[in-house]
Amino acid sequence: MQYSLPGLLVACTYLAYLQSHTVQAQTGCRNPNRRIGQCISIYNCESLLEVVKEVNLNALELQFLQESQCERGYGRPPHVCCTSDKGYTTTPTVTQRTTTTTSRPVTRVTTPRTWLSASPSPSNGLGNVLPVPPNCGHVTLGDKIYMGNDTGLDQYAWMVLLSYRDKNGNEEFNCGGSLINQRYVVTAAHCVIGDIEKEVGQLTRVRLGEYDTNQEIDCIEDDCNEKPVDLGFEEVIPHPDYFTTGNIHRHHDIALIRLAADVKFSYFIRPVCLPLSQQRSAINVGDHLIVAGWGRTLLARQSNVKKQLAVPVTGHEECANKFQTRRISLITSQLCAGGEFSKDSCDGDSGGPLMRQLNNRWYLEGIVSFGNRCGLQGWPGVYTRVTDYIDWIQQNIRP
């Protein structure tokens, strides 16, 4: 035995040597500056991890992070080509990065729980209080690294699904919404009254904290979320001026749902920020906003996984003239975005959020309302402009 130990030690040392060189051979890469690095987990790359932790990243920093991604890396995803570089050594052209339904492979990422200080669940009686930063619209690592089709597990944690029961007792998800405080969800009025009651069924419950509707608990690699929460509701409040002509002529398409119980916030259930007067900023033509949901894709009637898409804002007059050719009138409290082939919100996304990121927080700018089919070139989607309904929301929420 005394002679076998040195032999075993040498063998183990040699094996470790071979394993380390195998890893290096498998994970070698070049970063955006063309420097040779190692394709490893960003959590093990001190230089880029330091960049990610910055509160406000500029366009070049974001681009450098995104172009630093690599495949078949070592360790927990996301993988980056790690060197000592924290940015470009020469200034490149900043590219516009948008999300499409067809362009890049699925990539998902979540934020390490230790990086977040979870907001405490509000006390009872704060249903009439709208949260303001830093207690809403949380940005995750996924927002900074990836703009793939699938979201991260804890990305857009305010998004909810609305469930309906048909006359045969079957239940299905058919609309979305956004959690705005401990007690209220905002959605589209056509998701709670009108034709949906006849064509789909009665609203029965609201699901919070969902990611993949096919799984009870969702995992990406070794990172898992919590079981989603289903809540009933006490009251549905459609806007009093909401009306519709036919299937798609909708004005004031917004509603509030008062949940049956206070929501306990977590990493996977958080409220979105609303564009209150003190946080409001103009939306310009050409700005890219994010729409997300579980609606129809090119490949399926509904997606089981929460997806996201970047869509450009369209000028109101141009959009109104386009819809007028279909005898559909638009009002100024409606916002148009999209109009690119195959890039659009669609069936099942109704009531869901149109969002943008300002000062490292996400704001709800629009609610999915209607469109002329889905993803037709030259036909933007129409969204309810949330800014115009802040007063109405504040007047209709209660403790």
- What's phi and psi for 24, nearest 5 deg? -65, -40
Is 316 known to be catalytic?
no
Beta pairing class for 184-187 and 255-259: antiparallel
Is 350 known to be catalytic?
yes
Q: Specify burial of residue 98 (Cβ count, 10 A radius: 0-12, 13-18, 19+).
A: middle
Q: Tokens for 312?
A: 């450009």
Distance between CA atoms of 69 and 28, rounded to whole angstroms?
Answer: 12
Is 190 known to be catalytic?
yes
Among 79, 138, 190, 251, which one carries the catalytic annotation? 190
Among 223, 253, 344, 349, which one carries the catalytic annotation? 253
Q: Tokens for 88?
A: 């470009």
In which order are the strands placed within the sheet that holds 79-82? 28-30, 36-41, 79-82
Q: Tokens for 305?
A: 């996984």
Angle at 246 between CA 243 and CA 247, to 5 degrees: 90
- What's phi and psi for 115, nearest 5 deg? -80, -15
Q: What is the DSSP letter of 277?
A: G
Distance between CA atoms of 359 and 55, rounded to whole angstroms?
Answer: 8
Angle at 351 between CA 350 and CA 355, to 5 degrees: 105
Q: Tokens for 8?
A: 């075993």
Distance between CA atoms of 261 and 257, rounded to whole angstroms?
Answer: 12
Among 178, 345, 350, 369, which one carries the catalytic annotation? 350
Tell me the C-alpha to C-alpha distance, in Å, between residue 345 and each of 153, 247, 296, 309, 371.
Answer: 20, 16, 8, 8, 9
Distance between CA atoms of 181 and 68, rounded to whole angstroms?
Answer: 37
Residue 252 gets the label, from left (phi > 0), alpha (psi -120 to 50) or beta, of left
Distance between CA atoms of 273 and 158, rounded to whole angstroms?
Answer: 9
Q: Which helix (H) or strand (E) holds 362?
A: strand 361-370
Residues 6+ apart with CB under 8 A from 5: none
Residues that are catalytic: 190, 253, 350
